[in-house]
């Protein structure tokens, strides 16, 4: 084994210092940037060669140890994380609706009536003015519609942030709270890449589709929301799943959309109708025949739309 000279060691230290100054830490052995910090041992380790770069680092985690989720929940001494989906960001106290004490035993009727009064006044003092009450109502509407649409938690957070921005810019004045809340949810779906059409959002909302579209365009323009055009391929997996189609048909539908879009047929067309026509054409080509009515019901478009888009896509594919 040949030991490195002092000059080589100085060169390695110089390279390490330069890398640290540039903001990219590399392993002196294999020059890999794949470094990780061991939370248990407090060591900086190279994932590729296993070299320990640093040891005895300060552990900034809790002083207790837990080996599963239930232990971690029991030993944790902090509350839930802050969230934008609640008007107070989840920082105020909530009194549980279970009429039981800390040991799980039922409380007496006198204590039960006392807790009922406390709970009622706690709900009242959580909102100090009409503005907070309106915000609470809007965020609860966003949560209700998001649950009905089946969108993930991240979409609700983004929708709540957009609504708070609209409220700060005074865009709510002269418009219904439900309309602005629905348009913010639709904008959040588009920003997060979750395919939900305007018709689907209007079904779970208490305002009509025309008002949602008008409010959405106004909010997006005033808040400078950079919205990309909706890709029809985002709707293909969901529609195909509801129709029970296989992977071959899905791949063929995506291919049809790509070829049609390259020839400029997508401009000015509804993405849901375009996706529905591509699925209908792919089902015929892959011998998984579905009727135009079945596809139209899933995509919530008319059969006429599917026929028109189908003819354009077949011509683009070069079929007679």
User: Within this chain, do residues 143 and 204 fall inside the same structural domain, yes or no?
Assistant: yes
User: Within this chain, do residues 152 and 179 fall inside the same structural domain, yes or no?
Assistant: yes
d(CA 45, CA 136): 47
Structural domain includes residue 87:
no
User: Within this chain, do residues 137 and 216 fall inside the same structural domain, yes or no?
Assistant: yes
User: Within this chain, do residues 158 and 198 fall inside the same structural domain, yes or no?
Assistant: yes
Please count the residues of the chain.
320
Structural domain includes residue 241:
yes
Q: How far is CA 192 from the centre of its chain?
A: 5
27 carries a ligand binding annotation: yes
286 carries a ligand binding annotation: no
Query: Which tens digit of pLDDT belongs to each residue from 214-251?
Result: 999 999 999 988 888 888 998 999 999 999 988 999 99
User: Within this chain, do residues 248 and 265 fall inside the same structural domain, yes or no?
Assistant: yes
Looking at 189, 205, 223, the residue that finishes a domain is 223
Higher pLDDT, 19 or 267: 267
Return the DSSP state at 107.
P
CATH of the domain at 141: 1.10.472.10
User: Within this chain, do residues 211 and 250 fall inside the same structural domain, yes or no?
Assistant: no
User: Within this chain, do residues 241 and 217 fall inside the same structural domain, yes or no?
Assistant: no
User: Within this chain, do residues 192 and 168 fall inside the same structural domain, yes or no?
Assistant: yes
Return the DSSP state at 34.
-
Domain assignment of residue 212, given as a range: 130-223
Structural domain includes residue 10:
no
d(CA 174, CA 181): 14
R_g (Cα) of the chain, nearest Å: 29
Query: Which tens digit of pLDDT belongs to each residue from 85-111?
Result: 888 887 777 787 888 887 888 888 988
189 carries a ligand binding annotation: no
Higher pLDDT, 14 or 62: 62
For the chain, how many structural domains are there in total?
2
d(CA 166, CA 182): 12
Please state whether the predicted TM-score (pTM) of the whole model is above 0.75. no
The closest alpha carbon to 280, from 262, 260, 264, 299, belongs to 299
* Res. 130: pLDDT tops 50: yes
252 by Cβ neighbours in 10 Å (0-12 / 13-18 / 19+) ranks as: buried
Joined tokens for residue 150 = 């089946």
User: Within this chain, do residues 201 and 241 fall inside the same structural domain, yes or no?
Assistant: no
Joined tokens for residue 108 = 């007496």
User: Within this chain, do residues 200 and 240 fall inside the same structural domain, yes or no?
Assistant: no
Return the DSSP state at 263.
T
Query: Which tens digit of pLDDT belongs to each residue from 259-312?
Result: 888 888 888 888 899 999 999 999 998 888 889 999 999 988 999 999 999 988
User: Within this chain, do residues 212 and 241 fall inside the same structural domain, yes or no?
Assistant: no
* Res. 10: pLDDT tops 50: no
d(CA 145, CA 191): 17
User: Within this chain, do residues 147 and 216 fall inside the same structural domain, yes or no?
Assistant: yes
Query: Which tens digit of pLDDT belongs to each residue from 170-225?
Result: 999 889 999 999 999 999 999 998 888 888 899 999 999 999 999 999 999 999 88
Helix residue ranges, H only, the chain: 6-22, 69-75, 109-125, 130-149, 153-168, 177-191, 198-204, 209-222, 236-243, 247-262, 271-285, 292-299, 303-317
């Amino acid at each position: 084994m040949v030991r490195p000279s002092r000059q080589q060691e100085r060169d390695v230290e110089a390279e390490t210092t330069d890398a640290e100054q540039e903001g990219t830490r590399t392993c002196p052995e294999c020059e890999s940037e794949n470094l990780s910090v061991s939370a248990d041992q407090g060591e900086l380790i190279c994932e590729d060669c296993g070299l320990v770069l640093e040891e005895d680092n300060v552990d900034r985690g809790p002083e207790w140890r837990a080996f599963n989720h239930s232990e971690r929940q029991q030993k944790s001494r902090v509350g839930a994380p802050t969230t934008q989906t609640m008007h107070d960001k989840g920082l105020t106290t909530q009194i549980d609706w279970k009429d039981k004490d800390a040991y799980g035993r039922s409380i007496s009727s006198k204590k039960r009536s006392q807790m009922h009064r406390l709970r009622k006044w706690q709900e009242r003092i959580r909102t100090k003015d009409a503005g907070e009450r309106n915000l609470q109502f809007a965020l609860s509407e966003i949560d209700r519609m998001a649950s009905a649409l089946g969108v993930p938690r991240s979409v609700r957070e983004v929708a709540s942030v957009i609504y708070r921005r609209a409220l700060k810019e005074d865009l709510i004045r002269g418009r219904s709270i439900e309309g602005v809340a629905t348009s913010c949810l639709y904008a959040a779906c588009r920003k997060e890449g979750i395919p939900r059409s305007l018709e689907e959002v209007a079904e779970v909302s208490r305002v009509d589709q025309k008002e949602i579209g008008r409010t959405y365009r106004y909010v997006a323009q005033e808040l400078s929301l950079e919205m990309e055009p909706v890709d029809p391929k985002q709707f293909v997996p969901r529609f195909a799943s509801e129709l029970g189609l296989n992977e071959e048909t899905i791949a063929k539908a995506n291919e049809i959309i790509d070829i049609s879009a390259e020839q400029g047929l997508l401009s000015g067309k509804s993405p849901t109708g375009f996706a529905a026509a591509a699925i209908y054409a792919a089902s015929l080509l892959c011998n998984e025949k579905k009727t135009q009515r079945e596809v139209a019901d899933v995509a919530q478009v008319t059969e006429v739309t599917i026929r028109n888009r189908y003819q354009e896509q077949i011509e683009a594919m070069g079929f007679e």
